[in-house]
Structures are given as structure tokens and as C-alpha cells.
Structure 1
Amino acid sequence: MAEFVLVPGAWLGSRAWDEVVPQLRTAGHGAHPVTLSGLAEKQGVQTGQQTHVRDIVDEVERHDLHDVVLVGHSYSGIPVGQAAERIGDRLARVVFVDSEIPVDGESFASGWWAGREALEASIAGNGGFWAPLTAPDFDGQGLTDEQIARIVGGSTPHPGTTLTEPAVLARPLGELPATYIKCLLDGDEPNGDVAKLLAGSEHWELVEMDTGHWPMFSQPRELARILHRSAVES
């Protein structure tokens, strides 16, 4: 079976996957949730976007994993997409969970909906970190009050350099076998870069979930089922 390396999005650590990991292990897979440098229990570590790429590659190499399914949520789709091409034939598939994807020479901030300058100003005003969301920001995302409390309680400021440094890709992302999970309560359509890959690459598939942007909290069993299917069909 597959070895899943699960990478949370902005502000969160490995515990974001606490309800998904047991489901994958029960199905016979390995499951390796990762905390990226500078977040959660790894706060205080100097980090940039390429440090996060290395965190993911190191997890694969340290455990000598093969048949790897890399899973990136939200921000972490950017380092996950870069790590996917760097682990070579260890990779079985990459799964982007309602995430950004890397574009060579561009950063997370480059595609920020309110403009790069707005995000950079927010980071600068918070001592070089992107401030976590507060409970009202999760309205309309299919989450219970208890789930929102877990996300907020597990969030830490996100290192700003990881959001402003450009991605580095050696080959077209469309060559990688990939599943893109679109969470419909966070918008009906993937962003333009994702849409182009879904339309133009035979290696990419789209799966929709009727939930919000944090399905590992709102629908962990359904998310695990989709991840299991993506591995079995790889």
C-alpha cells in the first residue's frame, strides 16, 4: 500500500491530520504527518520556502519511503509540488487539497487574492509573520464550533518568508500524476493555474468535496476515503 506524507497548510502543524491518519492506517497505508519548520512545535526555527521543501523531502528520505503519496493542503501545495519532483521514482502521486500549486519563479504572495502588496504589508505589520485566522474567519466553511476551536487553538504565526520566496521547478508540473481536491464551500472552481493543468494534462484529475477549505477537520473520513482511492488507482 501507499506511504502518505501529509503536509498541513498555513499556521498549522502535523496534528491537523489527527483524524485522517487513523483512517489511512486502518486501510493498510503508512501515514506520516509533517510539521513544517517555523510552525507549531517547530516555532523559532529560521525558515524559508525551500526549507519547507527540504522538510518534506527529508521525511521521505529519513524513513526510506517508497510508493509515496504527497498530500499538500492550502499553502503547502507549493512546497509539496516542488518536493514531488525531487523525490524521483519514490513518488506514486501528489494530492493537492484545495491548495495553491507552485509556479516556477512565482510565490504564494504572487497569487494572493487581495494583491501581493496587501499580503506583504500584513506580514511586515506582524513582525515578519502571517497572523493566524480568528474564529469568525471560519464562518461558512462547514465546521462545527468545536472544529473551529481546534483549528484556532492549533494555529501559530506563519513565517512570512515562506510566502514571498519564489518556487523553483525543474519540469512542468503537469507531468506529475496528481489529484486536485476542490472544496466547494470555498469556491466552485479551482484557480486559473490549476484549471489549466486539469484541462491540459492527462495526468491530473479533479475531485470535488461538498465542504469548506479545511476538510481534514470538517470531513476527515471522506477525505481519507478520497486519499485511499487516489493511492489505489495510481
Structure 2
Amino acid sequence: MDVLLIAGLWLDGSVWDEVAAELRSLGHHPVPLTLPGQGDGSASATLDDQVAAVLAAVDSASGRPMVVGHSAACTLAWLAADARPEKVSKTVLVGGFPTGDGKRYADFFELRDGVMPFPGWAPFEGPDSADLDEETRRAIAAAAIPVPEGVATGVVRLTDERRFEVPVLVVCPEFTPAQARELIDAGDAPELAKVTHLDFADIDSGHWPMHTEPAELARLLAAAAS
């Protein structure tokens, strides 16, 4: 199966390299995406540009692909399910939940000169980053790509309720499946509360399992694709 891999803020498609290699060995066809504004020098990229790139990948995939979003990009994966509910076989959300209609995509941190730079590790202390050693932290920070303002502040538009019929797997890294269920039950992830087929998978990692547990993450994705 084609498995589209969409990384979260400040990351490009190369962050999936180890996961992709494992997925190939397990018989799947991984497609890591590098979206507009992720290292192509285009600080003018918008959320619409990134959505269009994701949809182009869905449309060109063989059969019905599985779409994987990490962190903020869980919303991009969900937008793909909304725009192509008949084409997307499953949506996998790694360490995040989709933003609802009418809300901004990811304006979580300070904007400077038209971009949202990586804010350093202070906001991620605790379970998010507990499994990252200093070398990995330095490597992630050094490779971090500032997010264009037009992406971070873009407004999410959801239009097709058939998205709720697309099966969803929530992969839980820095939180547990029980915590994810509690959050959904409390109304903090209203999009997921309406999903017909919703499953959870635990992974013993922080917020970036593609760095610290790539083989296990690939195993979970392969199981979901199968």
C-alpha cells in the first residue's frame, strides 16, 4: 500500500527516512512528503499550498493510500480525508489531533519576519522530549525549517462529513491511549468524537518517534495499512 507521510512543524520529508526504509522492508510503499515552505526557500507558502500538495500526492497514489500526519500535520492528513473521503483508505494521526473548521492551523509560537522559527526546547520539556539525547536535540534544532506565516496562520476549512467515515488510528507517543480517549470524551478533539472507526496504538516514545523509535513506528503503520 502507498503510505503518505507528512511531518509536523519545522520538519521536511527526510525526517521519515528510517521509518520509510522499515516500511519498504515490510512490503509497503512509503511516500514522505516535503511540502511548499519546507526548505524550498518559499516563505510565502500558505496552508492552501500545503493542502494542494498533499491532495496531489493522494491523487497520484496507487490505489487508496493511507495518509499519516505527525503533530500539527495531523490536520493536513485530516484535510486529505475531508477532500478525498472516497480515496483515502485510512488516516493515521501521530502525536496530535486535527484542528476544527474555521480555526487557525498552527499559530502556536511567536512569528518573526513572516515565519515561525523553532522556539527551542523549553516549550517541549517533559514527556515530549524526555527520550531525546542531546545530540538528537541539537540535530533537530539545527535542521528545523521556519514555518511560513501563511501556513501557521492559515484557516482550516472542512466541508465533507464523509470524512468521519474514513477509519482513523491515533498513535499515542507522549500520551497514552487512555489519555487520548479522555481528551476526546472531554470535547477537546471534537473532530475525532464523530469518527465512525477510531482506534488507538501506544508507542513508548516522546513526541518525535520517527527519531527515537522508527522501527516500532513503522511496525504500527504497517499493521494499520494491512
Q: What TM-score comes out, normalization by structure 1 length?
A: 0.83
Q: CA deviation at 1:88?
A: 4.0
Report the equivalent of 2:95: 98
Report the equivalent of 1:3: 2
Q: CA deviation at 1:55?
A: 0.8
Report the equivalent of 2:30: 31
Aligned runs of 1:7-156 on 2, under 5 Å? Answer: 7-40=6-39, 42-44=40-42, 46-61=44-59, 63-109=60-106, 112=108, 119=109, 122-123=110-111, 126-135=112-121, 139-140=125-126, 141=129, 142-156=131-145
Q: 1:165 is matched with which residue: 154, 173, 181?
A: 154
Would you say the 8 A contact 1:11–1:156 is kept in 2? yes
Identity, % of aligned positions = 27
Counterpart-to-counterpart distance in 2, 1:129 and 1:100: 23
Counterpart-to-counterpart distance in 1, 2:177 and 2:74: 17
- 1:13-63 per-residue CA deviation (whole Å, 9 max, x = no partner) reads 0111011000000111001101111112x22253111111111111233x4
Report the equivalent of 1:174: 164
What's the secondary structure of 2:34's corresponding residue? Answer: coil
Gaps in structure 1 of 5+ consecutive residues: 113-118
Q: CA deviation at 1:206?
A: 1.5
Would you say the 8 A contact 1:50–1:79 is kept in 2? no
Aligned runs of 1:143-222 on 2, under 5 Å? Answer: 143-172=132-161, 173-184=163-174, 189-190=179-180, 191-192=183-184, 195-196=189-190, 200-222=194-216
What's the secondary structure of 1:89's corresponding residue? Answer: coil
Q: CA deviation at 1:207?
A: 1.5
Counterpart-to-counterpart distance in 2, 1:109 and 1:197: 16
1:187/1:176 CA distance change after superposition, 3 Å: closer
Q: What TM-score comes out, normalization by structure 2 length?
A: 0.85
Amino acid in the other structure paired with 2:172: K
- 1:153-204 per-residue CA deviation (whole Å, 9 max, x = no partner) reads 2211111221222211122343221101121369973354565555553311
Would you say the 8 A contact 2:72–2:106 is kept in 1? no
Q: CA deviation at 1:127?
A: 0.8
- 1:65-113 per-residue CA deviation (whole Å, 9 max, x = no partner) reads 2230100011111122111232343311110111230311112347x5x
Counterpart-to-counterpart distance in 2, 1:201 and 1:100: 12
Counterpart-to-counterpart distance in 2, 1:187 and 1:137: 23
What's the secondary structure of 1:91's corresponding residue? Answer: coil
What's the secondary structure of 2:86's corresponding residue? Answer: helix
Q: Which moved further from structure 2: 138-147 or 17-26?
A: 138-147
Aligned alpha-carbon RMSD (Å): 2.4
Would you say the 8 A contact 1:16–1:151 is kept in 2? no
Counterpart-to-counterpart distance in 2, 1:97 and 1:146: 23
What's the secondary structure of 1:170's corresponding residue? Answer: coil
